[in-house]
Amino acid sequence: MGDERRFALDANVIVSAALIKEGNARKALDKAQTAGMILLSSPVLTRVGRRFRQTQV
């Protein structure tokens, strides 16, 4: 990991970035990806998964 910058994003940012390609959440996600490493916790991944399952109904 060294000097690489790390970013923690919440579930709302991840979901918004996936759904709205030109939104601020997507810009934040893209910047974080370019600048370093995105860290996601198990609870955040669970919330994101639940949200995407809800949209399929």
What is the per-residue burial (b if ≥16 Cβ within 10 Å, else e) of 4-35? eeebebebebbbbbeeeeeeebbeebeebeee
The number of distinct structural domains making up the chain is 1
HSE-CB of 7 using CA atoms within 13 angstroms = 16
Residue 9 vs residue 57, higher pLDDT: 9
Domain encompassing residue 45: 5-55
At residue 46, the pLDDT reads 95
User: Is residue 55 predicted with pLDDT exceeding 80?
Assistant: no
pLDDT tens profile 19-54: 999 999 999 999 999 999 999 999 999 999 999 888
